[in-house]
Structure 1
Amino acid sequence: MTSTTNTPASELPRVHRFLCDFSRRQAGRTVDFPGAFAVLNDAYKHSRGNNHVLVDGAVDPEALLGYTEEALGHLPYRFAYVLDETVAAACRAPMERAGFRHATVLFMAHTGPVPEHGGAREVDFDELREPVAAAWPRFVPGLTPEETRDLVERRVARRRGADVVRFFAAHTPEGEVAAWADLYMDPATGMAQIEDLVTAEAHLGQGYAGKVLDTALREAADAGCSTTFLTAAAEDWPRHWYGRKGFTTIGSMALFERV
């Protein structure tokens, strides 16, 4: 293993900028508001990740509801992220009065030693289509075929989100995809994000996710990225696993959703 520089909370503005840039770059179109913007993509209308409002500045808490209605009024859901914790706290009461559910998403940066390469390999998206489609009902029961299609195919748009976008997978000895993840990198700014780390249900608990994560961390470090981060739900178990893998929480953002 090699050492990595500690990533303090002062890195949070750089994480915010990376997320905002990624959101805009992968969008089909954007709509700007005071202190916020909406990203939209009609090709994946069932994907919240491709159709949402992102608050990246000082926004009037009472105005956020109007932004979500204006931008997402053609969709059956309303979805917004608020990056700044103080702004998020101010928005919470008016959004909940309007029927929105609130959740907290953690920003976790890797502050431990960079592991040796985990042995996962880069794959083309075509190799991931089937296992990704098979995994989604485990996380969101009752998905329609159209909804599943959007959640799977949206990875195509992610290719535009960063200067370098790579997909990695760990395979069983028989060659079956057992776990996978995305790696987004901007080597010029030293930033990298690991996203959608998933293990196929038949291979849970066998170490495949760790192989993929170690591979992504090593690849990011070798590309010159000094900050590698990911997001994790504050109320879900993976954040504890990431902590054991050398990740530290450096901040959070709020998620507001109404269906």
Structure 2
Amino acid sequence: MPNSELQRISSFVRAFARRQAARTVDLPGGFAVYDEALAHSRVNNQVVLGTAVDPEALPALLEEALGHLPYRLVSVLDDEVGKGCAEPLTRAGYVHSVHLVMLHSGPVPTGGRAEEVDLDALRAPLTRRWRSFLPEVDDEVLHQLVERRAVRRRGADIVRFLGARTEEGEVASWADLYADPATGTAQIEDLVTAEAHLGRGYADAVLSTALRLAADEGCTTRFLTADAADWPRHWYERRGFSAVGRAHCFERG
């Protein structure tokens, strides 16, 4: 995979983080994003790094940028930079995870029985799914994790929430599609299926629809990220995605 492809994806991710943020602060190697109205959402209050930084200085930099929060999150979009940060950050108490950047190179599906939905249609299934993921958190945390989807509309020129419905009209599976036709780049994010509807093809419907819509917008670079240590990466591989790069995440608190 040419470096230019990964650079295009990295630029898209950085731009999305900046555009959806309520405010940003530039830092060595990257920037911090903040949204005080979504203080419980880590992805909306984090440090994003894309270029080389002094790894030994990074823990202090994160304390300065995120010290007002009860957690710390840094996303490192460059694999080599992420590997260089791993030792000092784990020594400082951070948990390290690796995410694969997966590019779609298979045929674009011609169909897909999902549709664009609004946040009102997603609130109930999103809340139930977050409750199953995080049974110990209070209602305000759940509220922010659901409502943060609204600010994602600022992140790209095209932002669509897609959902596949049951015969009764309930949204059974959903995902976001972010697209920038000017650069031909599209990201599929947060593909989730309600527990009661797992294994019935709803996620396939959402993914197929997202890929077709991205292609219709002229986006030839269609990507998503997947946990390197979890099973969905293999599910995506069977649907035409392949790993072309790695990003790193470090969390504490």
Q: Supply the AA of the counterpart residue of 2:149.
A: R
- Equivalent runs, 1:139-150 vs 2, <5 Å: 139-150=133-144
1:9–1:250 CA contact under 8 A, matched in 2: no
Q: Residues 21-60 of structure 1: matches in 2 within 5 Å?
A: 21-60=15-54
TM-score, normalised with respect to structure 1: 0.95
Counterpart in the other structure of 2:114: 120
- Deviation at residue 9 of structure 1 after TM alignment: 5.7
CA deviation string 1:217-239 (max 9, x = no partner) = 00000111011101111111111
**Counterpart-to-counterpart distance in 2, 1:8 and 1:131:** 39
Q: Write out aligned runs for 1:123-202 (5 A).
A: 123-202=117-196
Query: Cα distance, 1:206 vs. partner?
Result: 0.3
Distance 1:125 1:146 in 2: 17
1:105 and 1:253 in contact (8 A); partners too:
yes
Match of 1:252 in 2: 246
Secondary structure of residue in 2 paired with 1:62: helix
Please give the secondary structure, in 2, of the residue aligned with 1:159.
Answer: helix
Long gaps (5+) in structure 2: none
- Find the residue that maps to 2:235 and give its secondary structure: helix
Matched with 1:108 is: 102
Please give the alpha-carbon distance, in whole angstroms, between the structure 2 residues aligned to 1:33 and 1:9. 24
Distance apart, 1:141 and its partner CA: 3.1
Match status 1:225 vs 2:219: yes
Cα deviations across residues 15-37 of structure 1 (Å, max 9, x unaligned)?
00000000000001111111121
Determine helix, strand or coil for the equivalent of 1:211: helix
Q: Please say if 1:95 is aligned against 2:89.
A: yes
Secondary structure of 2:154 counterpart: coil
CA contact (8 A) 1:118 1:211 kept: yes
| Aligned structure 1 segments of 4 or more residues deviating by more than 3 angstroms | 7-10
Unmatched tracts of structure 1, length 5 or more: 1-6
Distance in 1 of aligned mates of 2:193 and 2:199: 9
Q: Normalised by the size of structure 2, how large is the TM-score? A: 0.97
Partner residue, 2:68: 74
Instruction: Please identify, of 67-76 and 146-155, the stretch whose mean Cα deviation from structure 2 is larger.
Output: 67-76
Look up the equivalent residue of 1:158 and give its one-letter code.
Answer: R
Q: Deviations over 1:153-211 (max 9, x none)?
A: 00111000000000110001111111011000001110000001010110000000000
Residue type matched to 1:193 in 2?
A: Q
Note the C-alpha offset of 1:71: 1.5
Which of 7, 20, 26 is equivalent to 2:14?
A: 20
1:138 is displaced (CA, Å) by 2.3
- Pairwise CA RMSD: 1.1
**Which one of the candidate residues 56, 59, 73 is aligned to 1:65?**
59
Aligned to 2:229: 235
Q: CA deviation at 1:65?
A: 1.1
Percent identity at matched positions? 60
Q: What is the Cα deviation at residue 117 of structure 1?
A: 2.1
Residue 4 of structure 1 is matched in structure 2 by none
Give the AA of the match of 2:155: G
**Residues of 1 paired with 2:110 and 2:134: CA distance?**
34
TM superposition shift of 1:137: 2.2
Secondary structure of the equivalent of 1:235?
coil
